[in-house]
Structure 1
């Protein structure tokens, strides 16, 4: 349960999809994870979910692993 290494999705290296190198998809339209730390969905157009209401994880409250409180 560390902030960078072993949470379910780290901010860079070990998240389900990193912000650049290892994300499940690319940096714009269809990435599995994106703009912030480790939300299951990102902030673009056709990602797994939308930018606000119905993405798989919201930008703050309901992402698969929050940046501090709810990481694994």
Structure 2
């Protein structure tokens, strides 16, 4: 979600969460490349003065380590 400071316009750039009724026995992963692409596009098109994220408790699927620890 972005908020333009000049006029207060609020815009949603993307929301990534497990779909409703997703099977419990099927892992769901945030499409990391899609998220990275949206963040890159927003930074290219706008001049952000702040950037916040809700990293959750996600673990990296390749090595099991907590993915966000290096960013927090």
- What range describes the TM-score normalised by the shorter chain of this pair? under 0.3
Higher-RCO chain (CA-CA 8 Å, sequence separation at least 6): 1
TM superposition score normalised by structure 1: 0.26
Q: Which has the higher strand share?
A: 2
Q: Which has the higher helix share?
A: 2
TM superposition score normalised by structure 2: 0.26
Rg (Cα) greater in structure: 2
